[in-house]
Amino acid sequence: MSKFEEIALDQKVLRALEDLNFENLTPIQEKVIPHLLSSDRDLIALAQTGTGKTAAFGLPIIQQIDATSGDVQAIIICPTRELCIQIAGDIRKFVIYLEGVSVVPVYGGERIDKQIRALGRKPQIVVGTPGRMLDLIKRRKIRVESVRWFVMDEADEILDMGFKEDLDAILEGMPTDKQTLLFSATMAKNVEPIAKKYMNEPERIDTEMISTELDITHQYYMAHAKDRYKVLRRIADLNPGIYGIIFCRTRRETKEIADKLIQDHYSAEAIHGDLTQDQRDLVMGRFRKKHIQLLVATDVAARGIDVSDLTHIINYSLPEQIKTYIHRSGRTGRAGNSGISLSIIHMREMGRIRAIERIVGKPFEQKQIPLGKEICERQLFHLVEKISHTQVDEAQIEPYLSSIYKQLEPLDREDLIKRFVTTEFSRFLSFYKDAVDLNTTARKGDQGRSHERGKRIRRKRRREVNFSRFKIETGSAHKLGPKRLITLVNKDSKLKRAEIGKIEILKDCSYFEVEQGYEKNVLACFNRIRFHGNRISIKLMRSKPFLQKSRSQQLTQTLK
């Protein structure tokens, strides 16, 4: 592995990297940095989140930037506010000793006038989310005529969130001879058309989906579906120093699990789409400072979260797509640390575990759900270790010691230890006193039938929610797809709490279902919005059954 000092970087940049304890290049940096320093050819780099991508594209750009010019020379697009702030913060650290080089982040949820003032200081590098970047370009507060580098970080996520049209508009006025850099965890189907449309014979660098520098152990616990929360508690109790993210499929499940954990006295919070930006920032600030041990999140809400020293990723629900598992697990085992990605599965999900194994290229270890005795032993020794390493502030406790000594005088050393341990440890002893064994095993044949059964389970879940059906006079001929339709529905904040049922995209019209009780919100939402600049005609279908046998696309999804 090469060292940063061996690369032709400015001494002031190397000094900044030394301050940051950057010594060895990661595999993606080792491949990307030399390419960008020596070639103006476009680049597609497939690498997971947390593998050092910001330095991979940021350092070569910094090395070649014209510090004497006040023109915007590099535009970096990323999917979320958090990632935007993180990238801009990292680049600021790289250029701390360079005079005249500056970077400005622009993103939604922040007053635009504040960002306009920052842009007035003539930064050479602008990092932004697609919507806010496009807004500022349209206002001519960001001029793109002199852009030399255009970077799309986590391109697959950007496109999954429905920002393709924004990307088209952002790129419209840029020079044709700019260097375009596309970074993505996977070469998803929606990424290929972007690469073909906007890139000129790009070089392709493909690191492993689970990078060799990520020290991740993949595990699973098997239990009955009804016992999942009990298993989650046991995992948390078995690992007193746990610091991780618990992934759930839906916003509703996220809230429920976080509420249960808080009620059961765990250090946990939820992050989901119902939070305001200020609330989200508060939760994330507490999590990064380790004031919270467990963050419960959906995949959408967790986009852009980058915390380098997570010990665990817990898949409370397995994701529908394998690439989502890769995104999740890649958040641990970073920066030379080891990490665990574990899944709580039921008997019919073994087939999905095997499918993920084949793509990831690593075996998954089945772990036994711990029994009460094992958990109590682990907690007891953790308590003893914590006490033995506690730093005593003599000056702070001195005024109280004489009274404490007097009250404890009748107790000998052994009695004192026993009473202290009992007081501190009573919750675990009482809770696990008669704890049952939650372990189970997959029955023969379950693996082969898991996919079909999964379909039946999902159909059953859909029947448990009553839906209203809508028709819009827009379809595949207008370039509308299921994900884009969900994005349109999600533009109304109240609809983010609603369940989405079946979606059927026909050529000139589309049908979709939304949980009953939100009809007025749906109609009002579609009367406000525009699609490709045109109004969308919508009506509530009151009696006609949903088209089940069409060959058109169907997608069932819960709003995250």
Task: Set out the domains of the chain in order of their start, with CATH numbers.
Answer: 4-206 (3.40.50.300), 216-371 (3.40.50.300), 373-390+399-431 (no CATH), 465-556 (3.30.70.330)
What is the model's pLDDT at position 69? Answer: 93
Identify the three-state secondary structure at position 488.
Answer: helix
Give Cβ neighbours of residue 354 (< 8 Å, ≥ 6 apart). 447
Structure tokens of 100? 């005249």
What is the model's pLDDT at position 370? Answer: 92
Q: Are 536 and 472 in contact (CB under 8 A)?
A: yes
> Residue 49: which pLDDT band, with cuts at 50, 70 and 90?
low
Q: State residue 209 phi and psi, 5-degree precision.
A: -60, -40
- Give the mean model confidence (pLDDT) for residues 197-222: 77
Structure tokens of 520? 């007025």
- Candidates 434, 426, 505; CA nearest to 473 is 505
Q: What H or E segment, with its residue span, contains residue 534? A: strand 534-535
pLDDT at 88 over 50: yes
Runs of H (alpha helix) within 206-321: 228-238, 251-263, 277-288, 299-302
Q: Angle 192-78-149 (CA atoms, 0-180°, nearest 5)?
A: 75
> Residue 59: which pLDDT band, with cuts at 50, 70 and 90?
very high
Alpha-carbon gap, residue 59 to 335, rounded angstroms: 18
What is the model's pLDDT at position 229? Answer: 96
Q: What H or E segment, with its residue span, contains residue 222? A: strand 216-222
> Residue 198: which pLDDT band, with cuts at 50, 70 and 90?
confident
Question: What does the mean pLDDT of the chain come to?
Answer: 84
What is the model's pLDDT at position 453? Answer: 44
Alpha-carbon gap, residue 142 to 469, rounded angstroms: 42
Q: State residue 268 phi and psi, 5-degree precision.
A: -145, 155
pLDDT at 376 over 70: yes
> Residue 558: which pLDDT band, with cuts at 50, 70 and 90?
very low
Q: State residue 488 phi and psi, 5-degree precision.
A: -65, -45
pLDDT at 547 over 70: no
pLDDT at 416 over 50: yes
Q: Which residues of 426-459 are buried (b: 16+ CB within 10 A; e: fewer)?
A: eebeeebeeeeebbeebeeebbeebeeebeeeee
Given phi > 0 = left and psi -120 to 50 = alpha, else beta, which region is 140?
left
> Residue 386: which pLDDT band, with cuts at 50, 70 and 90?
confident
Identify the three-state secondary structure at position 470.
Answer: strand
What is the model's pLDDT at position 214? Answer: 62
- Candidates 149, 10, 13; CA nearest to 73 is 149
Going by the DSSP 8-state scheme, the letter that residue 98 receives in this structure is S
